[in-house]
């Protein structure tokens, strides 16, 4: 019985560690910055201007994100049903489609969805 408990605890610990590593795997170190692995083509060339333009510090404008990430398609992909119908992060009850991308998404740091400031529901596919 004691061995079974030790085995179970070890397996649980391994699972938790694996989840933590997976959750953080989208942030990656590039030359002199941390960035998202799914934007590797931008970071590997140290191409800050692709998103930031001449203003390298600060957040890029939403239309910069929208060049690659169509807001209408995002809203369609994140539609929820039933009791969660108003929980679409890209077309929500409070702001419609007008929430700035950087309120929820961070390129160089982890961020939480803006909605989490007041609500407790989860966005399982949220890219922090």
Segment 5-62, tens digit of pLDDT: 444 444 444 343 333 333 444 777 766 677 777 777 776 666 778 888 877 778 888 9
Q: Is 53 part of any domain?
A: yes
Residue 9: per-residue pLDDT: 44
Structural domain containing residue 73:
27-117
Distance between CA atoms of 71 and 92, rounded to whole angstroms?
A: 12
Helix (H) / strand (E) element for 34: namely strand 33-36
Q: Quick one: which of 58, 12, 115, 41 has its CA closest to 50?
A: 41
- pLDDT value of position 72: 94
Indicate the number of domains in the chain.
1
Is the residue at 4 inside a domain? no
24/58 Cα distance (integer angstroms): 23
- For residue 8, tell me if it sits in a domain: no
pLDDT of residue 14: 39
- Whether 45 is in a domain gets the answer yes
Is this structure's pTM higher than 0.85? no
Is 105 part of any domain?
yes
Residues 106-127: tens digit of each pLDDT: 888 777 777 878 877 676 666 6
6 lies in some domain: no
Per-residue CA distances from 106 to 57, 81, 109, 114 (Å): 14, 27, 5, 12
């Amino acid at each position: 019985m004691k061995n079974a408990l030790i085995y179970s605890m070890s397996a649980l610990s391994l699972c938790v560690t694996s989840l933590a590593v997976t959750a953080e795997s989208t942030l990656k170190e590039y030359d002199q910055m941390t960035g998202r692995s799914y934007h590797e083509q931008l970071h590997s060339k140290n191409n800050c201007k692709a998103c930031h333009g001449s203003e390298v510090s600060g957040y890029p404008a939403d239309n910069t994100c929208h060049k690659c990430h169509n807001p209408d398609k995002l809203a369609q992909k994140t539609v929820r049903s039933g009791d969660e119908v108003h929980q679409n992060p890209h077309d929500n009850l409070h702001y419609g489609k007008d929430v700035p991308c950087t309120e929820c998404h961070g390129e160089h740091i982890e961020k939480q969805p803006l909605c989490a400031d007041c609500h407790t529901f989860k966005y399982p596919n949220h890219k922090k």
